[in-house]
Amino acid sequence: MNPHAKLICTVSLIMGTSITISSNHWILAWTGLEINTLAIIPLISKSHHPRAIEATIKYFLTQSTASALILFSSMTNAWSTGQWDITQLNHPTSCLMLTMAIAIKLGLVPFHFWFPEVLQGSSLITALLLSTLMKLPPITLLLLTSQSLNTTLLTLLAISSTLIGGWMGLNQTQTRKILAFSSISHLGWMIMIISYN
């Protein structure tokens, strides 16, 4: 990959993460998530191998679905309450849609099927970025809205992620898939801690 393109992707990743983490407005948070998605796609597909291209397409489709759900959730909340502030999530349908969108973005069970396949098609450095830096913005959104979200649903997602991530990780022989299921399991613990503060 061209060093200039790599630099642009890296700066865009840092900028998208910073925008989402520091925003109080849903549109800014959504913009940061989209910048992140568009910046990581060239890094996933840089090897031009069919497996990398398949991983790129899977990643793009799942992340765009989750971003559309986040945008739709925030618009529904703004329509019913008149608030675009992230911490003012009061509409029950918006809360449910946002929980699903964050679960898709993070790769929580039952929306976890894309994550091991994407990590398997990526290089180890890109897999590291996908498992760490790309999880920060959705976790920040979850932290900001955790008091509004359904604690029972978050607990169910967390317990199932912890159990299934651990069990599926035991059955793997490939390093990237072990890392993916370990990430899913540890995300379950993090969601449990966030939901109960």
Name the residue among 2, 23, 5, 41 with its Cα closest to residue 134: 41
Residue-wise burial string across 143-176, b where 16 or more C-beta atoms lie within 10 A, e elsewhere: ebbbebbeeeebeebbebbbebbeebbeeeeeeb
Please tell me the predicted confidence (pLDDT) of residue 40: 94
Give the residue, 95 or 2, on which the prediction is more confident: 95
The DSSP code for 65 is H
The per-residue pLDDT for range 10-40, each reduced to its tens digit, is: 999 999 999 999 999 999 999 999 999 999 9
- Other CB atoms within 10 A of residue 42 CB: 17
Phi, psi of 149 (to 5 degrees): -80, 160
Please tell me the predicted confidence (pLDDT) of residue 158: 95
CA-CA-CA-CA torsion sign (118, 120, 123, 129) = positive
**Residue 121, CA distances (Å) to 154, 157, 177 in order:** 29, 26, 10
Phi, psi of 47 (to 5 degrees): -80, -10
Please tell me the predicted confidence (pLDDT) of residue 130: 92
Please tell me the predicted confidence (pLDDT) of residue 1: 78
The per-residue pLDDT for range 143-195, each reduced to its tens digit, is: 999 888 999 999 999 999 999 999 998 988 898 999 999 999 999 999 999 98
Examine the pLDDT at 197 and tell me if it is beyond 80.
Answer: no
**Rounded to two decimals, what is the model's pTM?**
0.92
The per-residue pLDDT for range 56-115, each reduced to its tens digit, is: 999 999 999 999 999 999 999 999 988 899 888 888 999 999 999 999 999 999 999 999
Domain range annotation of the chain:
3-195
What confidence category does residue 2 fall into, taking pLDDT thresholds of 50, 70 and 90? confident
Q: Is 197 helix (H, G, I), strand (E, B) or coil?
A: coil
